[in-house]
Amino acid sequence: MSEYWPGAVASAELEAALADLVSRAQAWAGRPVVAERFIPWVAARLGAPEPAVIRAAFASDLHLALACTERDRGALEDFEAALAAIRPAIAAVGAGASDTDEILQRLRVQMLVGERPGLLAYGGRGDLRAWLRVVAVREAVRVLGERGRSQAIDDTRLLEAMLPEIDAEREVISSELRAQFRAAFEEGIRAIASLDRLLLRQHSVDDLSIDQIGALHGVHRATAARWIERARVELAVATERALQRRLSASAEDVRSLMRLIASRMDASIQRLLGD
C-alpha cells in the first residue's frame, strides 16, 4: 500500500502500519475504504510516512472526514450528529438557542463548502468530534464578540470554586473588607478576557487537567499551562484594581490586604494572589 503514499519508501514496517490504518478506518462503516483514495488523503494530513504516527492516527475519523468532503450521504448524517453533540459546548459560552443554530450553520458552511472546505484542516491526530467542538467554541466566541456580548460562562460557580469562604478569619478581616474583596474578585472575573475566564472555569470548576485543556483547545500542554497561568495573573491584577477603586486606598495598602486574605485561603488562591 505504500505506493499510494507520495514519496514513501516501501518497507515491511510501513506496509504493516498502512494495513492497520485501512483496517481501523473501516470502524466508520458508512462505506468501504478505498486505499487508492484514502491513503493519499491521510498522507496529505500526516506528512512523512512514519509508521508510529500512522498507527496513532484516528483512522475512522479520517475516513469519515474524507467521505464528508466527497458529499457521502451517510457521512453527512454522521457529521450532523457530531454537530448536535456539541450544542452544549456552544451554549456554555453564552450562546442562546438561535445563536447556537447560527453558529452551527456557519460551521457547516465552513467545514463542507467551497474549494477548500474546513475539514481539509483536520489532521487526524485527535478525535474529530473534539476538534469540531474546539472550532465551534472559537466561532461562538468570535460571533458573540462581534455582537458586543461577553461570554456568559457561569461566573457564580467560578467565583465559588476559586474563592473559598473566609468566615473563620472574622477577627482578622472585617465583614466589610471581606464583602469588598469578594465583590472586587467577582468584578475581576467579569473584567478578564473571555478565553481567560473559560480556561479558569475549565480548570477550577470542571476540574480538567492541563493535558485535557490542551487537547480541548488543540495546543500543547505547556501552552495550556502558560494560558492558565496568564489567566490567573490577569484575574489577580483585575481584582487588585477593582479593590483599589472600591476602597479608595493606595496600591500598597491593597496589596497588603490581598496578601493577608490570600494567606487565609487554600494553596490555589494563595498562588493566585500571593504576588
The 10 Å Cβ neighbour count of residue 183 is 14
Torsion of CA 131, 74, 63, 25, to 10 degrees: 110
pLDDT at residue 152, as a whole number: 44
Question: What average pLDDT does this structure show over 154-174?
Answer: 50
Q: From 227, 233, 196, 232, select the one nearest 214 (Cα to Cα).
A: 227
Q: From 16, 24, 11, 21, select the one nearest 43 (Cα to Cα).
A: 21
CA distance 43 to 36: 11
Q: How many helices (H) and strands (E) does the chain have?
A: 15, 0
pLDDT at residue 212, as a whole number: 78
**Least trusted range by pLDDT, from 141-155, 201-215, 220-234:** 141-155
| All three cell numbers of 145 | 464578540
Question: What average pLDDT does this structure show over 231-247?
Answer: 83
**Of all residues in the chain, what percent carry a pLDDT higher than 70?**
79
**Residue 176: pLDDT band with limits 50, 70, 90:** low
The 10 Å Cβ neighbour count of residue 125 is 15
How far CA 139 is from CA of 72, 134, 272, in Å, comes to 25, 9, 29
**Residue 33: pLDDT band with limits 50, 70, 90:** very high
Of 79-83, 91-95, 157-161, 260-264, which one has max mean pLDDT? 79-83
**Residue 133: pLDDT band with limits 50, 70, 90:** confident
pLDDT tens for 61-116 read 999 999 999 989 899 999 999 999 988 888 877 777 878 888 888 888 889 887 88
CA distance 128 to 120: 12
pLDDT tens for 204-226 read 766 678 887 876 676 788 998 99
pLDDT at residue 168, as a whole number: 41
Q: From 197, 240, 232, 195, select the one nearest 217 (Cα to Cα).
A: 195
- Indicate whether 58 pLDDT > 90: yes
CA distance 1 to 11: 10
| All three cell numbers of 113 | 463548502
CA distance 118 to 254: 49
| All three cell numbers of 235 | 484575574
- Does residue 251 contact residue 244 with C-beta atoms inside 8 Å? yes
Which of the 8 DSSP states describes residue 150?
Answer: -
E-assigned strands of 127-253? Answer: none
Alpha-carbon Rg for the chain, nearest whole angstrom, is 24
DSSP-assigned states of every residue in 152-169: ---HHHHHHHHS---GGG
Quote the pTM value.
Answer: 0.55
How far CA 137 is from CA of 65, 117, 180, 213, in Å, comes to 20, 18, 33, 13
CA distance 230 to 218: 18
